[in-house]
Amino acid sequence: MELILQSIVNGLIQGGFFALFAVGLVLIFGVMGVVNFAHGELVMVGAYTVWVLHAQNGVPFIPVVMIAIIVVTAIGLLMERFLFRPTCNDPLAGLICSIGILFILQVLATVVGGDGPSKQVPPPYHGTLVLFDFLHVPYQRVFSFFISAAGLGTLWYFLTRTKFGWALRAVAQDREASALQGININRISMIAIGVGAALAGLAGALMAPLANINPHMGHNVIITAFIVTIVGGVGSLSGAVMAAVIYAMFHTFITVYFGGVIATICGLLLMVVVLIIKPTGIMGVKVSE
């Protein structure tokens, strides 16, 4: 019983991370129609920024998180301007370009951090929160959870309460119709990828003290993001958040009882099953051609 409750709490916290980078992928795909394969590498860059500035040079944690967000957003904007915009008529070309960026960012990380073993960032917050005498949650995780919840809340506010958010959702629904209404598609694409990349940077920065940092950490991130995106429904942000939490619980439980690789296999199979039974995902709507 205690193990189950502990796993639920761990899964919930994990779900916060998953949601952060998965909604970025959904936003970019929804607005621009590009599968951003380099999304995992954006998370990796966020984690590396924290490693370089916080662990190596002792800059305090919170400003470093801000810097990580800015760095990753800048990379995202450059990708939009110089890669995705020129290839916007061919989704496959955008995908291939993002794979090119993936290689470049991985090599950049190797150059910055060296090959060698995975990097560790000492957690800036020590101690453990104990609830009901048996639930143990390190303060670092509590902090990360609240920040990711705040990030997602801000995104929700932005999308549903601001004009830019409305425009962005309109473009995701129908590109041409929204262009006819006078929405600047290029600017909206910029905003979408900026927000998506910022969330990826935030996820990477928050994850840094809790994960092994290496140039190939993006691989697991992108697999998770794909699973969450598909299970939640392509193009559905609330679906992605829900699927992130569900998948995180699922993954945590199977990892506890059967091990990590089996958990990932089960996750992938879950995704295939969802694709077969309900290709639009749990919260998805039919995507127009």
Partner 1 sequence: MKIIIRLRKIIALIILLAGLIVLPHYLEFHYQDLLIFLIVNVLVVASYRIVTLTGEWSLIHAVMMGVGAYTAALLFKNYNAAMWFTLPLAGGAAALTAALLSFPLFRMTQFYFLIGSFAAGEAIRLTWMQFIFPFGGSGGLSGIEPPIIGSIDFMDPIPYYYLALGVVLICLFILYRIENSKIGMTLHAIHWKAPLAESVGVDTWRYRALAFIIGSFFVGIAGALKIHYLGTITPNQFGIGFMVFILIWVIVGGYKTIYGPLIGVVVLTIFDESVRGFGELRPAIYGGVLIISILFLPLGLESIYPKILTWCGIGSNSSDGPPP
Task: Mark the segment that binds partner 1 (CB under 8 A) among 69-77, 85-93, 148-156, 185-193.
Answer: 85-93
Task: Mark the segment that binds partner 1 (CB under 8 A) among 96-104, 157-165, 184-192, 247-255.
Answer: 96-104
Contact letters for partner 1, residues 1-40 (x by CB under 8 A): ----------------------------x-----x-----
Task: Mark the segment that binds partner 1 (CB under 8 A) among 1-9, 44-52, 120-128, 256-264.
Answer: 256-264
Is residue 279 part of the contact set for partner 1 (CB under 8 A)?
yes
Task: Tell me which of 81, 139, 264, 282 binds partner 1, using CB under 8 A.
Answer: 264
Question: How far is it, in rounded angstroms, from Cα 187 to Cα 217?
Answer: 31
Task: Tell me which of 70, 177, 269, 285 binds partner 1, using CB under 8 A.
Answer: 269
Phi then psi for 162, rounded to 5 degrees? -115, 160
Q: How many helices (H) and strands (E) does the chain have?
A: 11, 2
CB of 250 to partner 1, least distance (A): 15
**30 touches 172 (CB < 8 A):** yes
Is residue 219 part of the contact set for partner 1 (CB under 8 A)?
yes
**106 touches 41 (CB < 8 A):** yes
Based on CB atoms, which residue is closest to partner 1, 11 or 235?
Answer: 235
Contacts 24+ apart (CB under 8 A), 61-64: 61/124, 64/205
**109 touches 212 (CB < 8 A):** no
Based on CB atoms, which residue is closest to partner 1, 7 or 106?
Answer: 106
Residue 287 is classified by DSSP as P
Question: How far is it, in rounded angstroms, from Cα 277 to Cα 261?
Answer: 24
**H or E segment to which residue 131 belongs:** strand 128-131
Among the listed residues 234, 244, 222, 223, the one whose alpha carbon sits nearest the alpha carbon of residue 284:
234
**132 touches 210 (CB < 8 A):** no
Contact letters for partner 1, residues 97-126 (x by CB under 8 A): x-xxxxxx-xxx-xx---x-----------
Task: Mark the segment that binds partner 1 (CB under 8 A) among 117-125, 143-151, 160-168, 226-234.
Answer: 226-234
**26 touches 186 (CB < 8 A):** no
Structure tokens at 27: 């936003």
Is residue 91 part of the contact set for partner 1 (CB under 8 A)?
yes
Per CB under 8 A, residues contacting partner 1 are 29, 35, 83, 86-87, 90-93, 96-97, 99-104, 106-108, 110-111, 115, 219, 223, 226-227, 229-230, 234, 259, 261-262, 264-265, 268-269, 271-272, 275-276, 279
